Chain A
Amino acid sequence: MASLITCPHCGTRPKEEFSIRGAAAPRRPSPAARDEVWHRYVYVRDNPKGRYEEYWHHAAGCRRWLVVDRDNLTHEVFGVTDATDHLTAEAGE
């Protein structure tokens, strides 16, 4: 992972083309959600050791936000999906 990322749109590309935002798990709450929920969304992180979903931006490529499903201990990558598709799939589950 640290070296190459297989973008679902552009194929395998070097890390240099991407920028990384952070955890992909937090979901932006509804505007009506409680303060506590908003606080958790912005500030609290599960931060697991191991398998982890992370937002990467193919900034020097297709400009899509991607969800990289990876292991943050071994740096193995299990899959890369377009962030929008990822949300759609999640909603469908």
Chain B
Amino acid sequence: MTSYRLDAGGAINRAQALTFTFDGQSFKGLDGDTVASALLANDQMLMARSFKYHRPRGVVTAGSSEPNALLTIGSGLRAEPNARATVTELYDGLVTTSQNRWPSLKTDIGAVNGLLSPFLGAGFYYKTFMWPASFWEKLYEPLIRRAAGLGKLVLQPDPDRYEKCWAHCDLLVIGAGPAGLMAALVAGRSGARVILADESFTLGGSLLSENVAIGETPASEFAKRTIEELASLPNVTLMPRTTVFGWYDDMVFGAVERVQKHVASPSPDLPMERLWRIVAKRAILASGAEERPLVFGGNDKPGVMTAGAVRSYLNRYGVAVGSRLAIFTNGGSGYRTAADLTARGIKVTAIIDARQQAPDLGPDGVRVIRNGAVVATKGRHRLESLIAERAGFQEVIDCDALAMSGGWSPIVHLMCQRGAKPIWSEEKQAFMAPNVGGAFVAAGGAHGADTIYACLRDGAAKAAAMMGELGFSAYQATLPEVEGEYDPSFAPVWYVPGAKDKAFVDFQNDVHVGDLGIAQREGFRHIEHTKRYTTSGMATDQGKLGNVNTAGIVAGMRGVSPAEIGTTTFRPFYTPVSFGALAGAARGEHAAPVRTSPLHGWAKKNGATFVESGLWYRSAWFAKEGEKTWRDSVDREVLNVRANAGLCDVSTLGKIEIFGAGAAEFLNRVYCNGFLKLPVGKARYGLMLREDGIVFDDGTTSRLSEQHYVMTTTTAYAAEVMAHLEFCAQTFWPELDVRFVFVTDEWAQMSLAGPKARIILSRIVEDDISNVAFSFLAVRTVTLRGGLKARLFRISFSGELAYELAVPAGYGEAVADAIMEAGREEAICAYGVEALNVLRIEKGFVTHNELDGRTTADDVGLGKMMAMQKADFIGKRLSTRFGLTAADRLQLVGLKPVEADKEIKAGAHLLKENAKPSLANDQGFVSSACFSPTLGGFIALAMLKSGRERTGEHIVVWDALRGAEVPAEVCQPVFFDPDNTRLHL
């Protein structure tokens, strides 16, 4: 045994053994373990392979910055790739597997890359694989891709659910170590609403790992008591297992809570993860400090880890990471580690101190090599010994693990996400948190405090100051004494030169000092260039462990201070966040809200097939028994509307009520055609332009009374039109007295069309709706049999005698039923939007197929609607630009295939006969097409260059995409009843 569980100690529940598997082998761990601590307790140091050279790797850390020990946790649909073993909470039955190795973790063929490493230096791939050109995609890239990535993603639907919440507080404390706990305690005692979030499953941070006494109790006991006290305060919310990943504008923090990641059998009643947007008046960053690895040859050997990690495994998890440890340090952390280890009876074979002189003393009987360095490590799958060098002399040091300490870097990530850069401190030899204003400050280790006492004091002071700013009377905390702290000072050692083996700065991406050198030599000197060229800092830890070393080493190579080199940009996410958590419940069928019409039930019972239309589901057609295809149904519906009558749900059209003394003038300005003279009781088709003169939307607007109109819009543009009207009213013409109410959902609206429409309608309407009393475009509030008031519009989108009847939404289905019943003898049918579309194409009415955001009124033959004599309307001035009035613009025409049974499809382009396909010869495109059962052939609407003067011309409908070329004749866009006689029946 080299690493093993000690008999006593640690914040683990020894009564609760947990079984788990790693690469199929069964292990036992304890409640309170991470996967990493449990594996170490079982002497499993080898946990992973690196990305590029497939080198054997163990843990380097005991926290969230872990670059090496990435495992796949879980199996089947719940498998999560790239989980950090060092923060993954162990549970009974957990299944975990190693990644990026074949055939096994111990024997990985990919390790051959290590032999080729002289050829695989920084940026090698930019310089080769270019010949012959076709080999890149066929040979080189597939090889590279096969080697890419770490874990395997199961690209199957996730069985779990996720949710999102907002939270609000006076003070958000990020990190529950000594500074965070004290800050939360002060704020909580002061009466402020506090949220204390920590990424770990146990609050306490470094207090769980450090062997000091606080107020005469062990640090972990102090943490426990403080947490209990916080939990007793109703104004404090404790959020363990919650990572604050991003700081956004207005003091909004993004956080993800791992609700059930640690549960063997997740409850379906709870989310797997929960996204929090925390709105905080103030926030304290108490994220602590990261211990820097030392950069020396072979510093990636399994068993080499930070000194703090060794103490964490020892003190928090009761695990000795080795039986004979060596220590390589440049400061007090190494000595503290030696002391902790020897106190627990674990042998420390040597302390190698990079400093010439140091205030620290090793434990009794432990040899200290001052002014020393580690220059090589031995061992294959874990450290077996190392070579230390002092004054030119080398010696072998026996060890099975090495604790290294290269000093400390405050964890300032979150504070630098909004543009501020961390600032180099010569005194601290670290990049410090920038000043980002008083609302968000760093405290404790994140602020450079380097003893536990200093952290407690800083946390309390920062919180107290904020309490004052927020108007609370700050609670005066009594700071406890801390006994047994070590001297935290250190002297920088960026790199131990002269090693044969690679000295890594970015462990996961296998970036070593040699790569940084290549980047400098080749001119990739800016730190962002260095990063991008070498990939240092681009791994899943985003440089948490290595970036400061990279800056220090590059500074050394260039002979400047790290201040001049600076850091790369800090960006969300602090640690990786799942798609699932960020997406929440908006997925699958719930990706977007569903809108159904008040007549949905009516349509359903009449056999409708529904089709998505924006957020709506609209009835597309109503299949009858014996109809084999949708076309069968649509053809029948169309013919029946033309011959008898049909009822169609048009409730999805946008409906806007417009009120006010200025309404008439307002409409006159937003529509390009005139609206001032629209009489009460009449509807008018209106065309709305954008300010650039292009058609925006169309619809009808009816005057219900002197100062009351109701406007309809297309289904697709309802919201846009409403926003547009409000914009015009509020910013262009606030002097006009006009108000809008969006009533699309308040009314069920149905179109009753066909020569027998009036007969049918007269059976349910009390009022006189004869052609004389209620002529084309008439509008009136009518009374239905039984007393219901309804709005009746005589408007038509089918070219038939037609009415639109609007009733309050709740009555829709009953009224539609009544109409169907009243029309039974007249053979009324339900018809859907497909038939509606055929009917309108036969009549040459345009929709957004034609009005595609690039067409003018004139393009679609509605130029004469533009009332240019009006002083002003939206779009008037820019509509006259040369390009919008040019003779060669695309204009709306009809198309009939020369052979009527040849299908024309929308999306085809148009060519002159015998012309070669080319953009220069492109004559336009088919905008709408259908089979017209009325005419017994295919017809289409098209936008054709100078189309209106080309009636009668034969043209080729060119549809290479679907392998068709159909000769067609250009015709008027109105195929049926061009004189509109049927409208006025």
Interface residues of A (CB under 8 A from B): 1-4, 14, 19, 21, 28, 31, 35, 38-39, 41-42, 55, 57, 59, 63-65, 74-75, 77, 82-84, 87-88
- Determine if B877 and A84 form an interchain contact, defined as CB atoms under 8 angstroms apart: no
User: With contacts A1-B249, A3-B248, A31-B872 known, is A21 near B727, CB below 8 A?
Assistant: yes
- Determine if A84 and B734 form an interchain contact, defined as CB atoms under 8 angstroms apart: yes
B271 vs chain A, min Cβ distance (A) = 20
Contact of B727 among A1, A35, A65, A82 (CB under 8 A): A65
- Determine if A3 and B249 form an interchain contact, defined as CB atoms under 8 angstroms apart: yes
Q: Is B364 an interface position by the 8 A CB rule?
A: no
Which residues of the partner chain B approach A55 to less than 8 Å between Cβ atoms?
727, 731
Interface string of B247-263 (1 = CB under 8 A from A): 01111100000000000
User: With contacts A28-B732, A87-B731 known, is A38 near B249, CB below 8 A?
Assistant: no
Which residues of the partner chain A approach B691 to less than 8 Å between Cβ atoms?
28, 41-42
B754 vs chain A, min Cβ distance (A) = 39
Which residues of the partner chain B approach A3 to less than 8 Å between Cβ atoms?
248-252, 277, 279
Q: Is B726 an interface position by the 8 A CB rule?
A: yes
B727 vs chain A, min Cβ distance (A) = 6
User: With contacts A31-B871, A31-B877 known, is A84 near B730, CB below 8 A?
Assistant: yes
A42 to B881, CA, bound (A): 13
A69 vs chain B, min Cβ distance (A) = 15
Q: Is B594 an interface position by the 8 A CB rule?
A: no
User: Given A2-B249, A21-B727, 9 more contacts at CB 8 Å?
Assistant: A1-B249, A3-B248, A3-B252, A31-B877, A42-B691, A42-B692, A42-B878, A57-B726, A84-B731
- Determine if A31 and B876 form an interchain contact, defined as CB atoms under 8 angstroms apart: yes
Which residues of the partner chain A approach B252 to less than 8 Å between Cβ atoms?
3-4
- Determine if A4 and B878 form an interchain contact, defined as CB atoms under 8 angstroms apart: no
User: With contacts A31-B871, A87-B734 known, is A59 near B250, CB below 8 A?
Assistant: no
Which residues of the partner chain B approach A63 to less than 8 Å between Cβ atoms?
726
- Determine if B734 and A65 form an interchain contact, defined as CB atoms under 8 angstroms apart: no
Q: Is B102 an interface position by the 8 A CB rule?
A: no
- Determine if A57 and B250 form an interchain contact, defined as CB atoms under 8 angstroms apart: no
Which residues of the partner chain B approach A4 to less than 8 Å between Cβ atoms?
249-250, 252, 279
Q: Is B499 an interface position by the 8 A CB rule?
A: no
- Determine if B878 and A14 form an interchain contact, defined as CB atoms under 8 angstroms apart: no
Q: Is B611 an interface position by the 8 A CB rule?
A: no
Nearest B residue to A75 via CB reads B249
Which residues of the partner chain B approach A65 to less than 8 Å between Cβ atoms?
726-727, 730-731
Interface string of B701-738 (1 = CB under 8 A from A): 00000000000000000010001001100111010000
Nearest A residue to B249 via CB reads A2
| Chain B: interface residue total (CB-CB under 8 A) | 25
A84 to B733, CA, bound (A): 9
Nearest B residue to A21 via CB reads B727
Q: Is B166 an interface position by the 8 A CB rule?
A: yes
Which residues of the partner chain A approach B878 to less than 8 Å between Cβ atoms?
38-39, 42
- Determine if A35 and B877 form an interchain contact, defined as CB atoms under 8 angstroms apart: yes
Nearest B residue to A41 via CB reads B691
Most chain A CB within a 10 A radius of its CB, from B248, B279, B726, B731: B731
CB-defined A-B contacts under 8 Å, sample of 30: A1-B250, A2-B250, A3-B248, A3-B249, A3-B250, A3-B252, A3-B279, A4-B249, A4-B250, A4-B252, A14-B166, A21-B727, A28-B691, A28-B731, A28-B732, A31-B872, A31-B877, A38-B877, A38-B878, A39-B878, A41-B691, A55-B731, A64-B730, A65-B730, A75-B249, A75-B418, A77-B250, A82-B730, A83-B730, A87-B734
Which residues of the partner chain B approach A88 to less than 8 Å between Cβ atoms?
734
B439 vs chain A, min Cβ distance (A) = 12
A30 to B730, CA, bound (A): 16
A10 vs chain B, min Cβ distance (A) = 15
Nearest B residue to A2 via CB reads B249
Nearest B residue to A5 via CB reads B250
A65 to B691, CA, bound (A): 18
Which residues of the partner chain A approach B726 to less than 8 Å between Cβ atoms?
57, 63-65
A59 to B727, CA, bound (A): 11
User: With contacts A2-B250, A3-B248 known, is A57 near B723, CB below 8 A?
Assistant: yes
B316 vs chain A, min Cβ distance (A) = 36
A80 vs chain B, min Cβ distance (A) = 12
Most chain A CB within a 10 A radius of its CB, from B248, B723, B877, B878: B877
B385 vs chain A, min Cβ distance (A) = 55
A22 to B321, CA, bound (A): 59
Which residues of the partner chain A approach B248 to less than 8 Å between Cβ atoms?
2-3
List residues of B (726-774) whose CB comes within 8 Å of A's CBs.
Answer: 726-727, 730-732, 734
A41 to B875, CA, bound (A): 12
A21 to B691, CA, bound (A): 14
A77 vs chain B, min Cβ distance (A) = 8
- Determine if A83 and B166 form an interchain contact, defined as CB atoms under 8 angstroms apart: no
Which residues of the partner chain A approach B723 to less than 8 Å between Cβ atoms?
19, 57, 59
Nearest A residue to B168 via CB reads A12
A6 vs chain B, min Cβ distance (A) = 9
Nearest B residue to A77 via CB reads B250
A46 vs chain B, min Cβ distance (A) = 17
A82 to B726, CA, bound (A): 12
List residues of B (402-432) whose CB comes within 8 Å of A's CBs.
Answer: 418-419
User: With contacts A35-B877, A38-B878 known, is A57 near B249, CB below 8 A?
Assistant: no
Which residues of the partner chain B approach A74 to less than 8 Å between Cβ atoms?
419
Which residues of the partner chain A approach B249 to less than 8 Å between Cβ atoms?
1-4, 75
Which residues of the partner chain A approach B419 to less than 8 Å between Cβ atoms?
74
A41 to B690, CA, bound (A): 13
Nearest B residue to A43 via CB reads B692
A77 to B249, CA, bound (A): 10
Which residues of the partner chain A approach B734 to less than 8 Å between Cβ atoms?
84, 87-88
A38 to B691, CA, bound (A): 10
A13 to B872, CA, bound (A): 36
B808 vs chain A, min Cβ distance (A) = 22
A65 to B732, CA, bound (A): 11
A70 to B250, CA, bound (A): 12
A1 vs chain B, min Cβ distance (A) = 6
Most chain B CB within a 10 A radius of its CB, from A3, A82, A84: A3
Nearest A residue to B876 via CB reads A31
Which residues of the partner chain A approach B876 to less than 8 Å between Cβ atoms?
31
Which residues of the partner chain B approach A1 to less than 8 Å between Cβ atoms?
249-250
A55 to B732, CA, bound (A): 13
Nearest A residue to B741 via CB reads A63
A81 to B265, CA, bound (A): 52
A87 to B729, CA, bound (A): 12
- Determine if A57 and B877 form an interchain contact, defined as CB atoms under 8 angstroms apart: no
A21 to B728, CA, bound (A): 13
Interface string of B808-846 (1 = CB under 8 A from A): 000000000000000000000000000000000000000
Which residues of the partner chain B approach A31 to less than 8 Å between Cβ atoms?
871-872, 876-877
A47 vs chain B, min Cβ distance (A) = 18
Which residues of the partner chain B approach A14 to less than 8 Å between Cβ atoms?
166, 277
Most chain A CB within a 10 A radius of its CB, from B277, B719, B726, B730: B730
Q: Which 8 pairs across A and B sit closest by C-beta, in order of nearness? A: A3-B252, A2-B249, A31-B872, A4-B250, A3-B250, A84-B734, A38-B877, A75-B249
Interface string of B866-894 (1 = CB under 8 A from A): 00000110001110000000000000000
Nearest A residue to B691 via CB reads A42
Which residues of the partner chain B approach A57 to less than 8 Å between Cβ atoms?
723, 726-727
A78 to B250, CA, bound (A): 12
A63 to B252, CA, bound (A): 24
A21 to B724, CA, bound (A): 10
A4 to B251, CA, bound (A): 9
Which residues of the partner chain B approach A19 to less than 8 Å between Cβ atoms?
723
A84 to B878, CA, bound (A): 25
A64 to B251, CA, bound (A): 25
Which residues of the partner chain A approach B732 to less than 8 Å between Cβ atoms?
28
A86 to B630, CA, bound (A): 55
A38 to B692, CA, bound (A): 10
A21 to B251, CA, bound (A): 24
Which residues of the partner chain B approach A28 to less than 8 Å between Cβ atoms?
691, 731-732
Which residues of the partner chain A approach B279 to less than 8 Å between Cβ atoms?
3-4
